Structure 1
Amino acid sequence: MTRQLRTGFLLALQFFSVIPVKKQLPMEKEYITAMYAILPLLGLLFGSVLTSTVWLLRDTTEISSLLLGFIVVLIGLVLTGGLHMDGLADTGDAYFSYQDRDKRLAIMGDPRIGAFGAMALVVAIVGKIILVAESINEASLVWVLLIPVFSRIGLLALFSFTKSAKPDGVAAFFQKRVSHKKLQLVAIVALVISFMLLIWSATFLSAIVLIILLFGFSWLYRAWCLRNFSGVTGDLLGAYVEGVEILLWMSLLFFV
Structure 2
Amino acid sequence: MKNQLNLFFLALGFFSRIPMPKWVEYSPGKLNQSSRYLTLVGWLLGALVAAVFWGAQTLFPETISLWLAMLFSLLLTGAFHEDGLADTADGLGGAFARDKKLAIMKDSRIGTYGACALFMALIGKYLLLIENTDILIALLIAYPLSRATAVSLIADMQYVTDADTSKSKPIATTLSKTDLTILLISTLPIFLLVDHTSAVYLLACLLLVRTLAKLYLKKQLGGYTGDTLGAVQQISELVIYGVLLAS
Please say whether Structure 1 and Structure 2 have the same fold, judged by a TM-score greater than 0.5: yes
Instruction: Extract unaligned runs of 5+ from structure 1.
Output: none
Say which of 94, 116, 127 aligns to 2:113. Answer: 116
Say if 1:114 and 1:100 are closer, same or farther in 2 by CA, change over 3 A: same
* Residue 29 of structure 2 corresponds to residue 35 of structure 1: no
Find out whether 1:144 has 2:130 as its counterpart. Answer: no
Q: Could you report, residue by residue, the CA deviation over 1:115-149 in whole angstroms, capped at 9, with x for unpaired residues?
A: 211111111112211211121xx116444311111
Residues 164 and 231 in structure 1, CA contact (< 8 A), matched pair in contact too: yes
Residues 77 and 146 from structure 1, CA distance in 2 versus in 1: closer, same or farther, beyond 3 angstroms?
Answer: same
Equivalent residues of 1:171, 1:232 under 8 A apart: no
The separation in 2 between residues aligned to 1:195 and 1:212, in whole angstroms, is 13
Q: What TM-score does the superposition give when structure 2 sets the normalisation length?
A: 0.89
Once the two structures are superposed, the pairs formed by residues 3-18 of structure 1 within 5 Å of their partners are 3-18=2-17
Which structure 2 residue ranges, 5 or more long, are not aligned?
Answer: none
Pairs within 5 Å for 1:14-163: 14-21=13-20, 25-29=25-29, 31-58=30-57, 60=58, 63-135=60-132, 138-139=133-134, 141-163=136-158
**Cα distance per residue 1:205-255 (max 9 Å; x no partner):** 211111111111111111111111111101001111111111111222211
- The 1:157/1:209 distance shift into structure 2, 3 A limit, reads same
Deviations 1:52-75 (Å, cap 9, x if unpaired)?
2233344x45x4332233122212
CA deviations 1:84-112 (Å, max 9, x no partner) are: 11111101111111321110001001111
Residue 189 of structure 2 corresponds to 194
Percent identity, please: 30
How far apart are the structure 1 equivalents of 2:168 and 2:219?
17
Quote the offset at 1:33 in angstroms: 4.3
Alignment of 1:107-256 (within 5 A): 107-135=104-132, 138-139=133-134, 141-168=136-163, 169=166, 174-176=171-173, 178=174, 180-191=176-187, 193-197=188-192, 201-255=193-247
Cα separation, partners in 2 of 1:155 and 1:110, compared to 1, 3 Å: same
* Distance in 1 (alpha carbons) for counterparts of 2:147 and 2:124: 20
**Residues paired across the two proteins, number:** 244
For the Cα contact (< 8 Å) 1:164–1:171, is it kept in 2?
no
Q: Quick one: structure 1 residues 81 and 28, their matched pair in 2 at CA, closer, same or farther if it must change by over 3 Å?
A: closer
